[in-house]
Structure 1
Amino acid sequence: MTTKIAVITGAGQGIGKGIAFRLAKDGFTVVINDLDGELAEETATELKDHGYDALAVPGDMSKQTDVFKLAKKTVDAYGRIDVFINNAGIEQVKPLEEVTEEDINTIFNINVFGVIYGIQAAAQQMKKQDGVGKIINACSIAGHKGFDMLSVYSATKFSVRALTQAAAQELAQYQITVNSYCPGIVGTKMWERIDKEMGKYSGAAEGESFKAFSKAISLGRTQEPEDVANFVSYLASSDSDYMTGQSVMIDGGVIFS
């Protein structure tokens, strides 16, 4: 059986890194993308030290040329792309009245346009290949419910849900599936930044905003990258071949719909 190739954007740390290790464990060769080239190389080296096959490809996912270069470098190295995971994303904490044009452009360029470019690059390559291709996008609980102080971030994640549904319909004829995972309160540097920024506006001490959000988790504990990676493992596997267009909560029981 030919080894399958998975591309993961924003995989130098956090959820993306967790996904990379899980898919490597599942038998995938993984291509690690990150805006921070050093982080990408460090993660790829760590994977290799564990006996896995990995390649680091730095790049800015808000730039269409970089995304297509990522796909090309993957194909040049391994001949194909079986799974493309649009994981890269940024947060923004700010009252809606204070959001600037620059703020909007920055977060949409990465969280929305980057997903569009990833879908385009992956679909272009997958159409040339035999068999099922899988495109997997990072959504969020904020893609199912708008959160105060996270208004524009929420808007970007609602956009990811729409793109997932539309792309799934367009690409189904090629046996390419498109789905999204929707994490909740995860113990990553992103949530550390959200907590810090929330505190600036509310006056809460460091860690208090994170604790307050975490109280909404039905299962009683905050999320780890591995929790998300376990679900992405299913989306990347043949077990999910009949699933497409879905944005599924993996949040420990925060949002119910």
Structure 2
Amino acid sequence: MIVYVEYVIIDNMVIDTLILLLTKQLAKLKTTKSRLFFSSLFGTTIALIGPLLPSIINLIIKPLVAILMVIVAFKIENKRQFWGAICLFFLSTFLFGGACYGICEMLGIHIIIKNGMMYEYKFPIGLALLICSFVYFLAKNIINYCLNLQKQSKNLFQIEIVSNKNNFVGTAFLDTGNCLLMNNKPITIINYKVFNKLYPNIPLEYVLLKKDMGLPNQKYFEVKSITQNAEKILTFEVDKIILQNKQVENAVVGLSLGNFKKSTNSDVIISSKIIGE
């Protein structure tokens, strides 16, 4: 079996960096490029000499190497953060290693474990990098999605809008930056889905052509939406809005044709003023 040193160096440098980056994202740690580089370099150096050492020595030094890599890579502020980073570093390592091992088994590629992972001569060059890069990309996006979902869930409320005996029940997003007012009343932004539910007989063309639709206190004015695009929105009053057991009579609503549902996971954007914050 032939092991090419340059491949071991490249593989370990990149994979160690990916493990550290994933640990950083999971633990929300502070670091720099130079810290990540020297930490990965240290891990790679140990990986090079590891196969030359007895198994018992490797068993002892590898956890110590992981601890030192974390210390070098991150700015640790307290013991809790330190042990959290260590646990997440091992978790990330097992995630990458397990993915490599599992995919190799599925592809029928056999690997030999001896004082660390060593490639069989049939092991495709760069496959480990490809697998780990894919795992990192997937894990990073899952983490971002979960964090955004958690952040959004704190600002989501159940809402009911009533107008002309029609009503819409759905989810509203609390936008603390929404300070829009009309006649000293906060403006609740809705999308066309909500508008069509409340006024099914008013076609979209009337809205686009800014026709008089007979809506209470109907007006048009320009605002900057949550998507940062300037647009003229239709504003009018509805019979009432029910939110958190609070009922607002003759509430002001603004129709936005922008696609804010993708960024807010809701069909309605409310102001903090409407819930009394």
Where on the TM-score scale, by shorter chain, does this alignment land: which range? under 0.3
- Which protein is richer in strand relative to its size? 2
Normalised TM-score (structure 2): 0.25
Normalised TM-score (structure 1): 0.26
Quick check: which has more Rg, 1 or 2?
A: 2
